Chains A and B, each alone.
Chain A
Amino acid sequence: MFGIKIETKDLSVWYKDKQILKEIFLSIPEKQITAIMGPSGCGKTTLLKALNRLLDIHEGYKVSGEVLLDGNNVYDPKVNPMEIRARIGMVFQKPSPFPHLSIYDNVVVGLKLRGITDKKYLDDVVKEVLNKVGLWDEVKDRLESSAAKLSGGQQQRLCIARALALNPEVLLLDEPTSALDPISAAKIESLLLDLKKEYTIIIVTHNIQQAARISDYAAFLYMGQLIEFGKTQEIFTNPKNELTEKYVEGRM
């Protein structure tokens, strides 16, 4: 068995008067890939943003319950949400490199804005994380050119590199391949399989095959409720809940 990296206890989220997540109990194993599946609008994105306290930046959300990161509640009033966001990196559905920054600066902007200016260190980080995401050879000669000129797949890998530059423990990915062509998507999938040696990965996807291909654990979310969670193989071959069965068989 693996250690538990993140645990949600009785996690509920409201937006205005509408309850989006309902009493979620979920244990995310360390250095594994956990897929969160479910139909559109069931609350997957909201769940991810609740984990790294990204909901805090928007108005109108209310969170109750606990999110434990290494056993400590990230919603504890003593906790600085910025530290949580640095420890739990995030990659979004739409590739969102900063178009006004160079490729180099996209990678290190988080470090720079967190006060790290040592040029040698930043250079090393850029090389290391771009290598990790398989982008180094493609961009090493144009690190100073705008990130907006990269292809969609390259942009998404750059965004993964940007998150990795902060040396996070957890990586959240919200449908990272849904805006990409199949080849770019496949590259990202194999990249994630590499990355799980070092990071705990949570990937939201509504591509059932993708979840089956790359995840070790899978959760099925439906209308804000966690219907089922377990080993991916179990979920796919022997689902306990009828809804889960319908969903993984593509009958929903």
Chain B
Amino acid sequence: MKRLRNLIDKSYTALAACSFFILVLPLLHIIGSIIINGLKRFDLELITSPPKSLLSAGGGILHAIVGTAMVVFVAMIISLPIGFLTGIYLAEFARGKLAQIIRALITTIAGIPSIIVGVFAYTIIVVVYGFSVLAGGFALGFISIPYVVRSTEEALKAVPIEIKEAGFSLGIPRWKVILFIDVGYAKSRIIAGFLLALARVIGETAPLIVTILGGINIPSGLFSPANAIPLVIYQYALSPFKAWHDIAWSAALLLLIIALVMNLGVRYYLKIKAIYY
């Protein structure tokens, strides 16, 4: 009996270890390939110059870096206020039917495949203004709304009841308690949520294909077409040129580093903030 239990114990441990490796090995493989292949063209030119021309090998991805920055900026302008206010509403006011509807809506948005959001942006923005930073920003903004809503809501719900009561006991109106006491208290977690939402959409590719078009120019404004780091990876990886493959790998490495820095940065930020709470 005991031996059987031992055996079950051991095989269970072995199984767990196996599934861990099945999970981790491909991840290590991906990260390893990105680092090894990405280092070849991971130079200053990559981040300081746009492509030389449509068909020649040299140059970098400055156009895509600027494009990503602009698209993500527009996305955040759209999703931060909407997501933040919705998060406040759900955490502080939500009762009854309307709250249920909003919650269901947010869950639904979170479940929409990003390409569909891209097509949606295409039909309402690209059709009118053409392929543009605005269209891409709209798509990514839309996609990031649920993340902002949830992180804001969770951060506010974590505010201790004593803090809220202490706020109210100063004889100030509810909206001021929420905005200056609750949000103030929760602000580092809310900001962390914003950054993670941003990190989440920075690598989105599919919705950008149908909204910003790509190309080799540095976007000049809200209504000009643009490229983006993930889109460059996609386009260059599909090209027949070795030199472009190398740039795609390097762009992937850059994206990986950005995501890593943001995630670790948020963790570190929360850790130093946590000392006081």
- Chain A interface (Cβ < 8 Å from any Cβ of B): 52, 54, 57, 82-87, 89-90, 92-94, 96, 98-101, 109-110, 113-114, 146, 148-149, 159, 162-163, 166
Residue of A87, A92, A149 near B276 (CB, 8 A) is: A149
A149 to B276, CA, bound (A): 7
Most buried by A among B165, B168, B180: B168
What are 17 A-B contacts with C-beta separation under 8 Å? A57-B164, A57-B165, A94-B162, A96-B160, A96-B162, A98-B167, A98-B181, A101-B184, A109-B180, A109-B181, A113-B170, A113-B176, A113-B180, A148-B276, A149-B276, A159-B166, A162-B166
Question: Given A54-B168, A96-B166: A82 and B173 within 8 A (CB)?
Answer: yes
A84 to B169, CA, bound (A): 9
Contact yes or no, B184 A85, CB < 8 A: no
Question: Given A96-B160, A98-B181, A113-B176: A163 and B169 within 8 A (CB)?
Answer: yes
Q: Is the interface of B mostly helix, strand, loop or mixed?
A: helix
Contact with A along B161-192 (1 / 0, CB 8 A): 01111111111111010001100110100000
B20 near A: Cβ within 8 Å? no
Closest CB in chain B relative to A117 CB, distance in Å: 14
Question: Given A99-B277, A148-B276: A89 and B169 within 8 A (CB)?
Answer: yes
Contact yes or no, A110 B170, CB < 8 A: yes
Contact yes or no, A114 B168, CB < 8 A: no
Closest CB in chain A relative to B175 CB, distance in Å: 10
Which of chain B's residues have a CB closer than 8 A to the CB of A113? 170, 172, 176, 180
Closest CB in chain B relative to A16 CB, distance in Å: 16
The chain B residue sitting closest to A49, CB to CB, is B165
A134 to B277, CA, bound (A): 25
Closest CB in chain A relative to B68 CB, distance in Å: 32
Which of chain B's residues have a CB closer than 8 A to the CB of A163? 169-170
A162 to B166, CA, bound (A): 10
Residue of B169, B172, B173, B181 near A54 (CB, 8 A) is: B169
Contact yes or no, A166 B276, CB < 8 A: no
Contact with A along B140-174 (1 / 0, CB 8 A): 00000000000000000000101111111111111
List 20 additional contacts besides A87-B171, A100-B185; criterion CB under 8 Å. Answer: A52-B169, A54-B165, A85-B168, A90-B165, A92-B162, A92-B165, A92-B166, A94-B162, A96-B162, A96-B163, A98-B166, A99-B276, A100-B187, A113-B180, A114-B172, A148-B277, A149-B276, A163-B169, A163-B170, A166-B171
